[in-house]
Structure 1
């Protein structure tokens, strides 16, 4: 449509008084006749219909008058808006925005915000004032999200727009993943076909490309590489939803399509992710309870509105579904018949004992001093003990894994230990000659009694209170990996039980002695079940050996420092 056609109509538009509401309409036929002076009737009708549609969309024309074949403005401000738009369209030198306003290359946040504000206002108005409340989206976004779950927690990634986001309640952290782009669509050499697919609703081609999107995003956000670090499967395809939303200035009524994938990590992926999370503060763990509440204890807000919406707003149901998902990595401990315990000596020449609790026997394995120290390092890490020093070239990982970051004598020692333990109930697991562990449950790892002592204060033993403090100490332990830190756990025990334990430490009672059996029963119903006691790696304090009751540790009576 030429500027001349629009300019010809300006003086023939209806008028509305600025004050007191006086107005007059103009017959549509008169406007059509004016245009016919410049173009054929068909072209004139097309031009007028387009202008009519524009002004009706702006809501400046009275619709009842329009249906009666007349143009009438609804108010003087409406007349001004229509005149402004039409005048700008008729004047080659007029623009509603600067010539470069909509450029997006190398622009600052202020320009982006200006673009976003315009688009958001227009799209919000179009959506809210749609007669059928069913405005059609003009933007289509396809998203791949991942669920990486470890120890019952879900991995989140800090959103890049956290600091400049306008909706401050939207959430700071999203699930690792992101939007599909043109690079994810295989075989899309033709830009027209590729963009047509990306900007179309429910595009099968883009939906099929979401696995590629997932792989790209996990590599970018978490450094994870498909196959080497993980496999994945579709967990949930969310129901499409619409919202006036967008990244930076790309703001419009958008229809979203989201696929959520469940991730299964390899050992290499699990170990790599542990290190990556420790080094990258943008990666955080949130619990299903955090997700249900919508915030963590330290104020991290998950941005998963699409998931909340897909569960009908029932956050508890979403949390329950996430809790039911298996972890993305399994410890993979070996299931050994009879659930045996393993008791590790701390001096060469003493056997490793293994078997069902109370029925343990020596293993037919002979180890050198170096091999025993190597084994003790593996056992201490499997049990979760703290090392106060480590040899260089060693990294400690979860689930008992020890990684050698450089070859050397320790690698040789570990491989020799693996050969020595081969065929025994206590195998050594090895990956790529650099990852090693004892693949047994931490709770089945115990250490010789000589590593521990039981300590009470003489003044407390003379007290008249019902309970007194005692401590169980674990000495430091030298291993091939470094020194395990000594530790001490404090307990409050009944005074009479402490005296009875002292009595057991001094005297020998036959295994069928009623008094000794009662002491053992009281101990096993209390102290023996305390998680802090179990964490020490001590098998027990009281047991029966060779037909007699035995208090297993040195009972030390020491005054407080």
Structure 2
């Protein structure tokens, strides 16, 4: 019936000359009357003309001003050709604008997907660009759960599925881990029609409420992270819906996106699992906040987070500032975390472990065997960031002082015994699943016995006339049950005057209130004591007061 109506209308269409520019228009009412003369019901004729007029107006082939006056008039001869081509195809049961199976998507090659995408992208971009108000309505609705996993000031990204098919650099190739909701995320709805209607509708509460399930599924698929075991999450930001001609080929259209961005809090297991996963999957990559601000990493990775930029009104600096304020996805959370406090460990069984307010440390009443004390020393060395060469294949070293003991029940039991012996004191050894262990003290509160350290200076340099000289402070290597803690040396520039005074302090005895000794201490505190490299060595103080005397802690070596 519809084809017959169009066939009846074709002879009555207006005409435009191929040359010289002659043309004529046809009143809309005349077209309706022509169909009625063909024994077609007037209501059906009016509907047919109205629908076809809408189609031709959408194709922009009709002169707009004449159309407003109730007349059909083609804008040009090519416009007439396009209109006639489309209407002829619609009226001919044997005509198609595409091959019969063109829009099939199952088991098709990438080139066919690209062809479909090209058609949809051209049509949708044109519809968007040519909309009179600039606000074309979307025809595709996507609900997305994104995650922010932040460690050491870096954000984790995942390579997008359509990276090789992006059409412009602005599309980016790395997105935040996560993805779009699908039918499997919506629980409690058995009616597939209701479910699909919700997924393809704007601002659907049913789908928005399912985004936490989307997040869990996508993180499991993309990063191998399992909710509960590896992480918890909380909603960070629900973005304003945004529109863009976008999609994974061939699903390309003017799309309205609804995005919830979740902040991830990793468990210890998740924190230790993630680096291994990233090492084995090149699609996962860390980008710095500077990369995000710049829009590209140094190695060419382009983050695609346009929705986030838009939510911050395009202000990259504001977005980066907000990301900077977010806490890391894993916090060390040490049990002992006090300022102006210290724990001093010794290599000698005859010297007890001391602890307390800095400068007023006292021996701690610990009931550890020499072997257990050496285990504790190994945990402390790793916690402090010393290079620990583990001599046990069952031992894995992790950040924040954690060690992992695999398939070694003896060592696991020994560490559990140390933890039990210390459970009521200042020093706490954390145990997780009898597999993960650490000394739970903020690393900068851990110090080591003075006997490990040497202050080294060249004799000839001391005789020179230069204003500043190089001195070396070294920490010698030492053995622990967990392995050998390697030594470390650092060079520092001191004034020749201060170096000589420190040597004088090392070679002579000064009371704590001696004027010269106090001045030496003050000069040391303002300079060397503030150096991060000096602090990293693990020596509590090079110059400190003890039992009413000003003491030089390290062994002096003038060579």
Bin the TM-score by the shorter chain: over 0.9
Shift in Å at residue 206 of structure 1?
A: 0.6
TM-score normalised according to structure 1 size = 0.94
| SS class of match (1:11) | helix
Q: CA deviation at 1:293?
A: 3.0
Q: Name the residue aligned to 1:481.
A: 482
- Structure-to-structure mapping, 1:335-484, within 5 angstroms: 335=336, 339-484=340-485
CA distance in 2: counterparts of 1:104 and 1:390, whole angstroms: 56
Match of 1:25 in 2: 25
C-alpha contact 1:348 1:367 (8 A) present in aligned 2 = no
Partner of 2:251: 250
Q: How far apart in 1 are the matches of 2:282 and 2:555?
A: 47
> Aligned equivalents of 2:101 and 2:212: distance in 1?
37
Distance in 2, Cα, partners of 1:278 & 1:530? 34
Bigger CA drift: 397-406 or 146-155? Answer: 146-155
CA distance, structure 1, for counterparts of residue 338 and residue 47 of structure 2? 86
Answer whether contact 1:232 1:264 (CA < 8 A) is retained.
yes
Distance 1:351 1:76, change over 3 A: same
1:251-400 matched pairs, under 5 angstroms: 251-335=252-336, 339-400=340-401
Pairwise CA distance, 1:207: 0.8
> Structure 1 residues 279 and 479 mapped into 2: Cα distance closer, same or farther (>3 Å)?
farther
Please identify, of 295-304 and 252-261, the stretch whose mean Cα deviation from structure 2 is larger: 295-304
Structure 1 unaligned segments of length 5 or more: list them. none
Task: Compare 306-315 and 293-302 and name the one that shifted more.
Answer: 293-302
Alpha-carbon distance change, 462 to 163 in structure 1, aligned in 2, over 3 angstroms: farther
Return the alpha-carbon distance in structure 2 between the equivalents of residues 346 and 160 of structure 1: 55
Partner of 1:556: 557
What secondary structure does 2:465 align onto?
coil
TM-score, normalised with respect to structure 2: 0.95
Mapped contact 1:410–1:480 kept (Cα < 8 A): no
> In 2 relative to 1, CA 38–167 (structure 1 residues): closer, same or farther, beyond 3 Å?
farther
2: CA distance, partners of 1:539 / 1:522: 17
C-alpha contact 2:161 2:248 (8 A) present in aligned 1: no
Say if 2:119 is the partner of 1:131. no
Q: Structure 1 stretch 327-336 or stretch 456-465: which is displaced more? A: 327-336
| CA distance in 1 between partners of 2:365 and 2:383 (Å) | 22
8 Å contact 1:411–1:433 — kept in the other structure?
yes
Check conservation: 2:336, 2:427, Cα contact below 8 A: no
Are positions 1:121 and 2:117 aligned together? Answer: no
Task: Spell out the pairing of 1:164-183 with structure 2 (5 A cutoff).
Answer: 164-183=165-184
Match of 2:539 in 1: 538
Matches within 5 A, 1:138-177: 138-177=139-178
CA distance in 2, matches of 1:295, 1:518: 52
Q: 147-156 or 422-431, which moves further after superposition?
A: 147-156
Distance in structure 2 (CA, Å) of the matches to 1:217 and 1:367: 48
1:93, distance to aligned residue in structure 2 (A): 2.3
- Paired residues of 2:231 and 2:267 also in contact (CA < 8 A): yes
Q: Secondary structure at the match of 1:194?
A: helix
Q: Which residue of 1 aligns with 2:54?
A: 53
Cα RMSD after superposing both structures: 2.0
CA distance in 2, matches of 1:495, 1:469: 9
**Larger mean Cα displacement after TM superposition, 452-461 or 279-288:** 279-288
Query: d(CA) in 2 for partners of 1:70 and 1:420?
Result: 96
SS of equivalent residue, structure 2 residue 359: coil
For residues 430-478 of structure 1, the C-alpha deviation after alignment (integer angstroms, 9 at most, x for no partner) is 1111111111111011111222212112222222111111111111222
TM-aligned CA distance change 1:337 to 1:205, over 3 Å:
closer
- Does the CA-based 8 Å contact 1:388-1:484 persist in structure 2? yes
What per-residue deviation string (whole Å, max 9, x for no partner) do you get for residues 499-540 of structure 1? 222222222222222222222221121111110000001112
Bigger drift between 345-354 and 73-82 goes to: 345-354
State the 1:30 CA deviation. 4.2
